[in-house]
Amino acid sequence: MQDILKLREKRARTWDQAKAFLDSKRTKDGLLSAEDTATYEKMEGKVVALGKEIDRLERQAQIDAELNRNTSVPITAQPGSNNREAGCPTAGGRDAGLPAASVEYAQAFWNIMRNPQNAAPGVHNSLRVGQDADGGYLVPTEFEARIIQALEEENALRGLANVITTSSGDRKIPVEATRGTASWVDEEGAIPESAAKFDQVTIGAYKLATLIKVSEELLSDSAFDMEAYIAHNFGRRMGSREEEAFLVGDGKGKPTGVFADVGGGELGATTSAATITIDDVLDLFYGLKSPYRRNATFVMHDTTVKTIRKLTDKNGQYLWQPSIKAGEPDRILGRPLVTSAYAPEMKAGNKAIAFGDFGYYWVADRQGRVFKRLNELYATTGQVGFLCTQRVDGKLVLPEAMKLLKVKGGS
């Protein structure tokens, strides 16, 4: 943690030096010579590299903490007790009554996933309660929580969105379309009616799948942490596809993204040229209503941030400010900044920046992720396949809570 703090301080100092260089070398027109531009970009590249190293160290710390977590809990029930949930973290909780939440189910699940031929008698019977129609099995509840944590680490949007869990079917969300108002009335005068009207947004579930291959040697090695390996790979692959859909998905076989032309955020501002100026950012910022600005976040591509870093206000203050505290994001105009490789790049006609309250972007997880072991498909290469599937949807339930900045040009 101390190393991360030192890197943050070094990054802040490097950025201060880059700003000072930029201020001293700008001409009256705000331009730089080719030589000065190369020097500045080298300094800026160091700021970016330090930021990526900080992100890597923070992720490493999270993974270390997860791997060092206890993999089992002490048995607290009396021998012979009928409470098979004793000692299970989910016992008595909201998932305790689900088949996949029991200790017996978890043990049977991992036994058959690691070595189905040597599974103890009764294992298949224990798993019937969580068997999927396609021959796979619901993952144990405690392990599903680890998968969700991995998804959050790989998908920046999950940490901003409102995530709900559904059991089956579509979820209808009531949204206030028009708001009621108050009126001044005379003493004993009639009070006018002003009722709010509600619309409904329906969130469904789209299937997302990946195939993980593991060598038979690793599976037979008792020291191999199969749970951690699968959770990490599942989270990395699924998380990246989720983030892409939550940003630019068109709603056809996948979630609807905040940048989508239909179902995405509202157009907040359009640049006056093919680049972004401080006035464009301010128009976007104040185009979002004040109640939404309080919890708003900027989301954009790294290449767009590169342009934003050079912008200053009339007092010479830079809009972009680096984070100097562990766990806190960089900021623009005092609001958090999240970058994503899946956000549209700053090109003519693209919506390059999203600014809004992502709490109004709802992510619906269908409860019960499914694993299926494939024994024969990769037998010739000495590997075993694990097919992982989940059902998820995402949708912006209140478009006015999200404003987009469009770059001039295009259609």
| Per-residue pLDDT at 117 | 61
Cross-strand partners of 214: 384
DSSP-derived pairing of the beta strands 331-332 and 206-215:
unpaired
Nearest CA to 91 among 99, 101, 81, 100? 101
Contact 369, 389 (CB under 8 A): yes
Separation between Cα atoms, residue 277 and residue 284, nearest integer Å: 11
Determine how many CB atoms are found less than 10 A away from the CB of residue 212.
18
Separation between Cα atoms, residue 165 and residue 366, nearest integer Å: 6
133: Cα within 13 Å, side-chain hemisphere: 0
Residue type, 301: H
Q: For helices 34-67 and 2-25, give the axis angle rounded to 10 degrees.
A: 170
| Per-residue pLDDT at 80 | 42
| Per-residue pLDDT at 89 | 39
Sign of CA dihedral 125, 115, 134, 244: positive
Separation between Cα atoms, residue 63 and residue 229, nearest integer Å: 11
What does the buried/exposed string (b/e) look like for 235-267 if buried means 16 or more CB atoms within 10 Å of the residue's CB?
bebbbbbbbbbbbbbbbeebbbbbbbeebbbee
pTM: 0.72
84: Cα within 13 Å, side-chain hemisphere: 12
| Per-residue pLDDT at 136 | 57
| Per-residue pLDDT at 194 | 62
Radius of gyration of the chain measured on its C-alpha atoms: 26
Separation between Cα atoms, residue 342 and residue 52, nearest integer Å: 17
* C-alpha 119: how far from chain center: 37
Cα torsion 9, 12, 13, 14 to 10°: value is: 120
Separation between Cα atoms, residue 55 and residue 46, nearest integer Å: 14
Structure tokens at 172: 């209808």
Q: DSSP assignment, residue 289?
A: -
| Per-residue pLDDT at 289 | 94
| Per-residue pLDDT at 75 | 42
Residues contacting residue 305 through CB under 8 Å, at least 6 positions apart? 320, 337, 339
Structure tokens at 227: 């749970």
DSSP for 299-367 reads EE-HHHHHHHTT-B-TTS-BSEE---STT---EETTEEEEE-TTSPPS-TT-EEEEEE-GGGEEEEEES
Contact 234, 155 (CB under 8 A): no
| Per-residue pLDDT at 401 | 94
213 to each of 14, 353, 376, 381, how far by Cα in Å?
43, 38, 12, 10
pLDDT tens for the 411 residues of the chain, in order:
667 878 888 888 888 888 888 888 877 667 778 888 888 888 888 888 888 888 778 777 776 666 565 544 444 444 444 443 333 334 334 444 455 556 666 767 667 676 666 554 444 444 444 445 555 566 666 667 777 777 877 888 988 999 988 877 677 777 665 566 677 887 877 877 665 666 777 888 899 998 888 888 887 777 778 778 888 888 888 899 999 999 999 999 999 999 999 999 999 999 988 889 999 999 999 999 999 999 999 999 999 999 999 898 888 889 999 887 777 889 999 999 999 999 999 999 999 999 999 999 999 988 778 888 888 888 888 888 888 888 999 999 999 999 999 999 865
- The three-class DSSP label of residue 90 is coil
| Per-residue pLDDT at 96 | 44
Contact 309, 348 (CB under 8 A): no
- The three-class DSSP label of residue 14 is helix
| Per-residue pLDDT at 232 | 82
